[in-house]
A = this chain, B = another copy of it.
Amino acid sequence: MSEILEIGKKAKAAVPQLSNMGSEKKNQALEVVAKMLIKHAQDILDANAFDIENARKNSMKEGLIDRLLLTEDRIQGMADGLRKVKGLEDPIGEVLSMKQRPNGLTIGKKRVPLGVVGIIYEARPNVTSDAFSLCFKTGNVVILKGGSDAINSNTAIVKCIRGALDSIGIQPDMIQLIEDTSRETAAEFMKMNEYVDVLIPRGGSGLIQAVVQNATVPVIETGTGNCHIYVDESADFNMALNIIFNAKTQRIGVCNACESLVIDESIIDEFMPLVKEKLETKKVEIRGDERALKAVPSIIQATDEDWGTEYLDYIISVKTVKNIDEAIAHINKYNTKHSEAIITKNYDNAQKFLNEIDAAAVYVNASTRFTDGEEFGFGAEIGISTQKLHARGPMGLEALTSIKYIIYGNGQIR
């Protein structure tokens, strides 16, 4: 039997113990895991040092090395994350509704775990403990497939978590790491419908598309965000500039950063110079259409490719539109259904934008950067769904659950 099939079987076998585990025991386990991560921090750092050394040998970019790097503080952060999830309310077991039918059957809808969750991610080792904590709290067994660059770090973290579970009588297979980082194994993993209930890819668009294209297991598509801010003719310029500056530059490498401005033609001559001035302080490159270029000739000319590009960099595109209908059509054509904002003082425009933009999160007069589980008050998140099925937008604990109907009868037949 292949290693991956063996992992799937072990995961499935571990499901009954976890799906019926009470919150007390789950919380105790999260606390023990947090302690063990701190206790074994040096082992994890040693393993991470190997990964960093290999990454340098392979000339990995410094930005990516920073994502891969663990420090004592970051391991403390992982432990803090586990304790935070421990403190969240356990959604499992809640009966969402219970109704009696005319024939006397009582039908309840109960929140249950999904079963086995597969997480496919890249080179951030902290995802290993984050994903475990969220899956475990919601009664889900997790199978992790991290990037080859982080394999030593991930192996050390998973070993530590498994040891912690084992120490309090919990089957350690609640978390398993796929150590074989080959493409073939990944492909097999994505087709294990018998053993895996859902796959959640976390990472860049290449990874996510590879999973969407190759998986037969249901996938929750996360991530890519080609987010727009539309500034209409009634907008408060000062508010618009602050929001644009925040959404573009506060953190450039994230999916809820703004990648494109859509500006009403009636204000473009007055507003564009202010945008240019504001974004210049962070050396943001502006790529505009012809009309924007006419307003500020010193910016770069955009190509059609720009409209669909998630830069994740100090670059932003500018599209000029005649009215809100054109703005909505442009955004719905090029967006990735993530986060979109309008800056306006006009009531009708605000309502129209909220109604007609097709995205997980639609904002009036606020930065797109708020699309985040913490900011939405979910306490934590496993990712941001950009699909419409099952979960949309920031996914908290509830996104990791399913339901089951429980029916109480006394002999009913049809």
Binding site for B on A (CB under 8 A): 15-16, 19-20, 99, 101, 105, 107, 114-115, 193, 197-198, 212-213, 216, 218-220, 236, 239, 242-243, 245-247, 250, 332, 354-356, 358-367, 369-371, 375-377, 387-390, 392-393, 402-414
Contact = CB atoms under 8 A, between A and B. Distances in A.
B365 A198 contact: no
B413 A250 contact: yes
B361 A404 contact: yes
Contacts of A243: 411, 413
Contacts of A219: 218
A307 to B, nearest CB: 15
Nearest to A412: B366
Contact of A402 (B216, B376, B389, B412): B389
A371 B414 CA distance: 11
A359 B193 CA distance: 16
Contact of A365 (B369, B405, B411): B411
A411 B364 contact: no
Contacts of A366: 105, 407-413
Contacts of A377: 99, 101, 107
B218 A20 contact: no
Contact of A405 (B245, B247, B332, B360): B360
Given A219-B218, A370-B414, A362 B105 contact: no
Given A242-B411, A370-B414, 5 more contacts: A107-B376, A197-B388, A198-B388, A369-B413, A393-B405
4 nearest A-B pairs in the assembled complex, by CB-CB distance: A366-B409, A246-B413, A388-B402, A390-B390
A132 to B, nearest CB: 20
Nearest to A191: B213
Nearest to A402: B388
A404 B392 contact: yes
User: Quick one: copies of this chain in the complex?
Assistant: 2
Contacts of A250: 413-414
A370 B404 contact: no
A388 B101 contact: no
A198 B388 CA distance: 8
Nearest to A198: B389
Contacts of A332: 16
Contacts of A393: 403-405
A197 B390 CA distance: 12
Contacts of A370: 105, 407, 412, 414
B407 A364 contact: yes
A406 B356 contact: no
Contacts of A403: 392-393
A91 B291 CA distance: 42
Contacts of A361: 404-405, 407
A211 B266 CA distance: 50
8 contacts: A107-B376, A242-B413, A362-B405, A364-B409, A365-B408, A365-B412, A369-B414, A389-B389
B20 A356 contact: yes
